[in-house]
Amino acid sequence: MQTLQGWTALVTGASAGIGEACALALSQAGARLVLAGRRGDRLEALAAKLPNPAHPLVLDVRSRREVETSLSSLPAGFSDVDVLVNNAGLGLGLEPAHEASLDDWETMIDTNCKGLVYVTRALLPGMVKRNRGHVVNLGSVAASYPYPGGNVYGATKAFVHQFSQNMKADLVGTRVRVTDIQPGMVETDFSLVRFKGDAQRASKTYEGMEALTPGDIADIVLWTVTRPARVNINVVEVMPADQGFGPFNIKRR
Ligand code: NDP
Ligand code: 8X3
């Protein structure tokens, strides 16, 4: 098993949900943590309760300049990032493609695709140079299975999948690994964000079923990262037992 003692992990979107759970799991396993996200107060609070040293980093992954500046000037002890969990992301809206907001589409592309690429590009050279590292990307079942209103959200997660696989191709021969984790429904603020603060609509998403928890995903992230260095888990697809696949939708006339 790969130990995380002496390793540094950076989690984007560590201020809530899956990212927060991943930060906790990685810290409990011995890693030092860089906690990135926009809500600094939440990052500070998390840093204070982690069992190993943690550095809160207020960062909007959509800003290429902010990403490049802040990741090239991480403080001593946190600058050699070994594990990157590209978790920051969101879905916005569930309108059909012909009615959806172009602004929402842009925000999803800017965060889920461009933000993920900026952070990865900033940290990957160091991993390759040190010949040790692991990039864990939060994809989604939406990458493979379309659903009504998923449109650009699903497309961004398909991007995450292809980028992960292609990066893996580039990194053969190095000790830098890449994993795409593809969850189904996880109960977090994801739906609250998707429905723009409509708590009632958000809670209906998980009503009467048992969704995955952020801790379930953190367990998987930790498992992929702690495999022996020769093992690369390419993709993990995981759903609640209560979630399944829809039939093809056929309009009969
Ligand atoms: P949450 O809304 O609970 O958390 C999202 C996190 O992303 C927050 O910490 C938020 O931090 C951060 N974030 C969003 N935009 C930015 C930004 N521009 N810059 C920096 N950080 C940002 O949702 P989840 O925990 O559920 O989502 C985490 C990831 O998991 C996402 O990529 C999502 O697509 C994916 N996922 C979620 C599933 C689910 O059912 N919940 C299923 C499959 C995948 P802050 O607002 O402080 O910046
Ligand atoms: C989030 C899972 O099914 O709500 O990625 O799109 S789903």
Each residue's pLDDT tens digit, 176-217: 999 999 999 999 999 999 999 999 999 999 999 999 999 999
Q: What are phi and psi of 181, to 5 degrees?
A: -95, 125
Question: What local confidence, expressed as pLDDT, does residue 150 receive?
Answer: 98
Q: Which 8-state DSSP code applies to residue 1?
A: -
Q: Which CATH class is domain 8-238?
A: alpha beta
- Could you tell me the distance, in angstroms and rounded to a whole number, from the CA of residue 253 to the centre of ligand 1? 41
pLDDT band at 1 (very low <50, low <70, confident <90, very high): low
Neighbour-count burial for 170-187, b at 16+ CB within 10 Å, e otherwise: ebeeeebbbbbbbbbbbb
pLDDT band at 3 (very low <50, low <70, confident <90, very high): confident
Among 75, 128, 95, CA closest to 103: 95
Q: Is the pLDDT of residue 120 over 70?
A: yes
Q: Is 153 a catalytic site residue? A: yes
Average pLDDT over residues 11-19: 99
CA dist., res. 16 & res. 241, Å (int):
24
**E-strand spans in 20-107?**
32-37, 54-58, 83-86
- Reduce the DSSP state of residue 93 to 3 states and report it: coil
Question: What local confidence, expressed as pLDDT, does residue 111 receive?
Answer: 99
What does the mean pLDDT of the chain come to? 97
Q: What ranges do the domains of the chain cover?
A: 8-238
Q: Is the pLDDT of residue 247 over 80?
A: yes
Describe the strand order of the beta sheet including 235-238 as a list of residue ranges: 54-58, 32-37, 8-12, 83-86, 133-138, 176-183, 235-238
Each residue's pLDDT tens digit, 34-60: 999 999 999 999 999 999 999 999 999
| Active-site annotation holder among 145, 147, 153, 206 | 153
Average pLDDT over residues 88-112: 98
Question: What local confidence, expressed as pLDDT, does residue 200 receive?
Answer: 97
Cβ of 188 closer than 6 Å to ligand 1, yes or no, is yes
% pLDDT > 70, the chain: 100
Cβ of 193 closer than 6 Å to ligand 1, yes or no, is yes
Each residue's pLDDT tens digit, 155-164: 999 999 999 9
- Could you tell me the distance, in angstroms and rounded to a whole number, from the CA of residue 194 to the centre of ligand 1? 10
Q: Which 8-state DSSP code applies to residue 141?
A: G
Cβ of 70 closer than 6 Å to ligand 1, yes or no, is no
Average pLDDT over residues 15-21: 98
Question: What local confidence, expressed as pLDDT, does residue 169 receive?
Answer: 98
Q: Is the pLDDT of residue 2 over 80?
A: no
